[in-house]
Amino acid sequence: MSCCAPGVEQSVDAITSPETDDETLLLASRELKNGLLQLEMAVPDVSCAACIQSIESSLNKLDMVENARVNFSTKRVRVSFLAGSGRPSDITKAIMKRGYRTFLLDPDLDNKGDKTLAGLVRALAVAGFAAGNIMLFSISVWSGADAITRDLFHWISAIIAIPAVAYAGQPFFRSAFSALRHGALNMDVPISLGVILALLLSLFETFNSSQEAYFDAAVTLLFFLLIGRTFDHLMREKARSAVRNLARLAPRNVMRLFDDGRRELIAINEVEKGMILEIGAGERIPIDSEIISGTSDADLSLVTGESVPQKITKGDELLAGSANLSGVIIIKASKPAADSFLARMISLMEAAEGSKAGYKRIADRAAAIYAPAVHILSFGTFLGWGFISGDWHIATVNAIAVLIVTCPCALALAVPIAHVVASGRLFENGIMMRDGAALERLATINRIAFDKTGTLTKGQPAFIGQFFGDNKMQQIAANLGASSRHPFSVALANSISNVKAIEGAKEVPGFGIEAEQKNGTWRLGRAEFCNAQDIKNSQAGSSVWLSHNGKAVAGFTFVDKARVEAKHTIDLLKKDKLKLVLLSGDKKQPVMSLAKEIGIDDARYSLTPKDKLEILQNYSKAGDDVLMVGDGLNDAPALRAAHVSMAPSSAADIGRNAADFIYTHNTLDAIPFAFHIAKRTANTVMQNFGLAIIYNFIAVPLAVSGQVTPLIAALVMSTSSILVTLNALRLRIGGNKIITKNTKIIIPNDPYISKAAAQ
């Protein structure tokens, strides 16, 4: 399987020779902060944990390299390096010195089909055909054929096996030869040795008219390895296709409009903040932007999960990946394409695939030392049997069996295949995770802390009215509110016409907005921020205050309704015996009212970002593993401090950057779904480790003691790898997509959710 293969599979992404010049590499690099550049290249020869460690260690030794990370799923390496501190070609040379090819990437070639899969299918067909026919002859020999017939069948088997092994074994042989040529060992080396030695020993036995030959073992081993590798490749390609499909949503070019009336078609990567662009009907929105002219209908399903088209008009904000359906609109770019919503989602997916979780790091370290251990054990078996029995023929057979049976495929696949399947399930349901370590942490939580506004509520509070102060103050408050994205500020700004954002207004996270004007200092926000804590408010709902030079001059009331799925989500989480707490900066009345409505018994109100942080730290000291769910500026410290965190895609940039999981459909049912997938993944990983350990505990002593023939070793080893893969594939069965229907969350066939909760 993947740890024992691919060797030199052809990359569909490769477009340049390894001798790429410095100028080309610099042009292909993406500029980061602080003088750093990022270069991403294909490394199609990566086949196991030892390969990854070899490439990363080689690159990290270069003075110019800040960080290097190999993504096993996509077979790519991402290198961050200091501009001007060295030659970019040194990066490619360092990879090549380790025996691996490397290429620049061309996304256009993704459309030309999966050449690797086609090659795997051909090799699998050849190995399967040969194994089936050789097994027929072997059965005849085992049934008691006479010497002449036995020798004839052995020669026929040799004629079938030699070309079959030569063709079907190419990925393994080339990878092993490349590793040995550069003084390294990988998982393909013992497999290649086992297959070649079994074939050579069989030819020797056939020449000498012996009773035993092992052509069936050599070919059957390749057949089963190719079955497992095809499974693994299909699952990894499924995960990669999610990233590719996201990337394809972004158009390559967009029409730019100039102030003098000129129009020019430019590449997406040339778009800068503030550029004016024209989007025709049927085109995708290429970057995060604001509509400055035109009205249309838009498909926002990628962002909100809502398939019903929504009307969009001047002033509306759009995220990259949304589709313009009916009319021409003029938009103003809010960010460059590299920082758009779509780019962040792609980055999250790639980070999740290339992550190194705790269990995965353990498996990688075990696999890295496994290859030399296998050779030592096999050589020790050969010497032991040779000196003890004096029969070097038996010693050779047993050594070959040990080489075959000890391939660590099951161990190397235990974690990555489970995480690949799990990340695919999460992505299909609109949930992006940063890395596998976050998935592991999510499985261990025993408490969930929720933010209120924008998380448990719709985040779109309705303006009710002014309950304190001169009514003329509403215009000033609305002008201040136009400078903020906070839901209360947006609602206030939308409550009145002719709103003009106040220049120089700045947001104070967790408190409100402040603006220094000629006539004094204006503040809009919390009561204590505006010195209004002593003013009584009998109104229901949340309140926002306006102050001038430290004196409260107006108060406004808002109501933010709970999400329709909130109560049922809380009920599901209670069924899982999770402790729940509501942490909000809002005042007591709306917080307690919401907590009672949705069923949260522990609710805290009037909290600052520092208060939330201290509460989470206290929970951690008490031994609780907390999942923090929130959005917005004031939740970022808590999101970072929590054991694991989630945020909706509608959250502020700082909130999304701090969260471990992003749910793009903006519905709370993502929380129990992600938790259940995390629990199932953790169980699957432990089961896979158990299968690998039990297999080695039983098979290795039997092989060393001479109780296992090369054929049985091939069957048992390959079967263990396939079992690990099939066990991981169970994550795709049961717990189908969560559907919100009539305000009830239905999660069918999921063993982690009680029937009562799903009713």
| Range of weakest confidence among 371-380, 451-460, 619-628, 746-755 | 746-755
Helix/strand/coil for 282: coil
Helix/strand/coil for 312: strand
Nearest in space to 513 (alpha carbons), one of 487, 481, 539, 537: 481
**Mean pLDDT within 20-47:** 76
The answer, yes or no, to whether residue 703 has pLDDT greater than 80, is: yes
Spot the catalytic one: 299, 451, 631, 669. Answer: 451
- Using left for φ > 0, alpha for ψ between -120 and 50, and beta otherwise, residue 650 falls in alpha
Q: Are the C-beta atoms of residues 478 and 499 closer than 8 Å to each other? A: yes
Residue range(s) in the chain whose domain bears CATH number 3.40.50.1000: 431-457+563-664
pLDDT for res 267:
75
Cα first-last separation, the chain: 42
Tokens of 667: 């519905």
The CATH number of the domain covering residues in 431-457+563-664: 3.40.50.1000
Tokens of 632: 């917005």
Q: Are the C-beta atoms of residues 753 and 744 closer than 8 Å to each other? A: no
Find residue 263's DSSP bridge partners: 257
pLDDT for res 634:
63
Query: 446-485, pLDDT tens digit by residue?
Result: 999 998 877 888 766 778 888 888 888 888 888 888 877 7
The answer, yes or no, to whether residue 580 has pLDDT greater than 90, is: yes
Query: 155-192, pLDDT tens digit by residue?
Result: 998 999 999 999 988 877 877 787 777 776 666 777 78
Confidence of residue 237 (pLDDT cuts 50, 70, 90): low
Name which residue leads in pLDDT, 410 or 721.
721
Q: Are the C-beta atoms of residues 182 and 97 closer than 8 Å to each other? A: yes
**Mean pLDDT within 533-541:** 71
pLDDT for res 159:
92
Helix/strand/coil for 85: coil
Q: Are the C-beta atoms of residues 7 and 233 closer than 8 Å to each other? A: no
Helix/strand/coil for 738: coil
Say how far apart CA 500 and CA 480 lie, in whole Å: 8
* CA separation, residue 475 to residues 294, 462, 501, 515, 522 (Å): 27, 17, 11, 15, 13
Which range of 119-123, 222-226, 663-667 scores highest in mean pLDDT? It is 119-123
Residue range(s) in the chain whose domain bears CATH number 2.70.150.10: 253-339
Assign domain 17-103 one CATH number from 2.40.30.10, 3.90.1150.10, 3.30.70.100, 3.30.950.10.
3.30.70.100
Which range of 262-266, 546-550, 738-742 scores highest in mean pLDDT? It is 546-550
pLDDT for res 228:
65
pLDDT for res 249:
62
H helices of 600-709, in order, are 609-621, 636-641, 653-658, 670-704
Q: Write down the residue that tokens 């003084």 correspond to.
A: 183
At the topology level, CATH places domain 253-339 in 2.70.150
Helix/strand/coil for 15: coil
Amino acid in position 702: L
Percent of the residues in the chain that have a pLDDT greater than 70, as a whole number: 79
Q: Write down the residue that tokens 């890295």 correspond to.
A: 368
Q: Is the dihedral of CA 169, 171, 177, 179 positive or negative?
A: negative
Name which residue leads in pLDDT, 650 or 620.
620
| C-alpha triplet 143, 148, 151: angle, nearest 5° | 80
Give backbone dihedrals phi and psi of 364, rounded to 5 degrees, phi first. Answer: -60, -45
Nearest in space to 565 (alpha carbons), one of 746, 427, 385, 716: 746
Q: Write down the residue that tokens 């194994």 correspond to.
A: 131
Q: Write down the residue that tokens 């499924």 correspond to.
A: 238
The answer, yes or no, to whether residue 632 has pLDDT greater than 70, is: no
| C-alpha triplet 430, 655, 301: angle, nearest 5° | 30
Of the CA atoms within 13 Å of residue 691, those in its CB half-sphere come to 27
- Sheet containing 602-604: give its strands across: 431-433, 661-663, 644-648, 626-629, 447-450, 579-583, 602-604
Helix/strand/coil for 689: helix
Q: 208-212: long-range contacts at Cβ-Cβ below 8 A with a sequence spacing of 24 or more? A: 209/147, 209/151, 211/141, 211/150
Name which residue leads in pLDDT, 460 or 98.
98
| C-alpha triplet 421, 728, 112: angle, nearest 5° | 45
Contacts of 509 (CB under 8 A, 6+ apart): 609, 633, 634, 636
Q: Are the C-beta atoms of residues 332 and 317 closer than 8 Å to each other? A: no
Contacts of 459 (CB under 8 A, 6+ apart): 453, 487, 560, 631, 650
pLDDT for res 722:
77
Could you confirm whether 571 is annotated as catalytic?
no
Which range of 1-10, 138-147, 273-282, 652-661 scores highest in mean pLDDT? It is 273-282
Residue range(s) in the chain whose domain bears CATH number 3.30.70.100: 17-103
Please provide the average confidence, as pLDDT, over all residues in the chain. 77
Tokens of 628: 């923090």
At the topology level, CATH places domain 462-559 in Calcium-transporting ATPase, cytoplasmic domain N (3.40.1110)
The answer, yes or no, to whether residue 70 has pLDDT greater than 80, is: yes
Q: How many CB atoms lie within 10 A of CB 471?
A: 9
**Mean pLDDT within 673-702:** 86
Angle between helices 670-704 and 392-405 (to 10 degrees): 180
> Following DSSP, what letter does each residue of 114-126 receive, concatenated?
-HHHHHHHHHHHH
The answer, yes or no, to whether residue 122 has pLDDT greater than 80, is: yes
Confidence of residue 28 (pLDDT cuts 50, 70, 90): confident
Confidence of residue 602 (pLDDT cuts 50, 70, 90): very high
Query: 715-759, pLDDT tens digit by residue?
Result: 777 777 778 878 888 887 765 444 433 333 333 333 333 332 332
Q: Are the C-beta atoms of residues 310 and 297 closer than 8 Å to each other? A: yes
The answer, yes or no, to whether residue 64 has pLDDT greater than 70, is: yes
| Range of weakest confidence among 47-56, 349-358, 512-521, 616-625 | 349-358
**Mean pLDDT within 76-82:** 85
Say how far apart CA 199 and CA 149 lie, in whole Å: 20
pTM of the model: 0.57
Say how far apart CA 605 and CA 612 lie, in whole Å: 10
Find residue 583's DSSP bridge partners: 604
Contacts of 137 (CB under 8 A, 6+ apart): 153, 154, 156, 157
> Following DSSP, what letter does each residue of 157-218 receive, concatenated?
HHHHHHHHHHHHTHHHHHHHHHHHHTT---THHHHHHHHHHHHHHHHHHHHTT-S---HHHH
Name which residue leads in pLDDT, 167 or 24.
167
Confidence of residue 573 (pLDDT cuts 50, 70, 90): very high
pLDDT for res 240:
57
Query: 281-337, pLDDT tens digit by residue?
Result: 778 888 888 899 888 878 775 555 444 567 788 888 887 877 787 678 999 988 887
Name which residue leads in pLDDT, 751 or 97.
97
The answer, yes or no, to whether residue 345 has pLDDT greater than 70, is: no
